Amino acid sequence: MSVSTLAISRRSRGDLHPYTLLCAVNAAFDQLATGQIDDGQSALSAATDALASVLGAQHPEVVDIRRGRRPECDIEPPPA
């Protein structure tokens, strides 16, 4: 589901929208949780770096993600 949500967000909002980047972070955490370690780490690093570029490296979400915590956020569904 996280991969599907990420794809919809990318189409609707673009690759660098904060919601899209948070979807990418969640998808990467899901990869890690299902044993896809190399792909998950790579995706998590890329999404976190992009989010830091958009929100700033000291933004609370970025700091928490770098500590290994999933973001706690409500992401509004994009228009279909």
The answer to whether residue 30 is domain-embedded is: yes
Number of domains in the chain: 1
DSSP labels, 11-76? HHH-TTSHHHHHHHHHHHHHHHHTT-HHHHHHHHHHHHHHHHHHH-TTSHHHHHHHTTPPP--PPP
Cβ-contact 54, 16 below 8 angstroms: yes
The answer to whether residue 39 is domain-embedded is: yes
The answer to whether residue 76 is domain-embedded is: no
Supply the pLDDT for residue 77: 64
Supply the pLDDT for residue 18: 95
The answer to whether residue 55 is domain-embedded is: yes
Supply the pLDDT for residue 80: 60
The answer to whether residue 75 is domain-embedded is: no
The answer to whether residue 50 is domain-embedded is: yes
**Domain span at 44:** 2-66
pLDDT of the chain, 80 residues: tens digit per residue: 899 989 999 999 999 999 999 999 999 999 999 999 999 999 999 999 999 999 999 999 999 999 999 987 776 665 66
Three-state DSSP state, 79: coil
The answer to whether residue 38 is domain-embedded is: yes
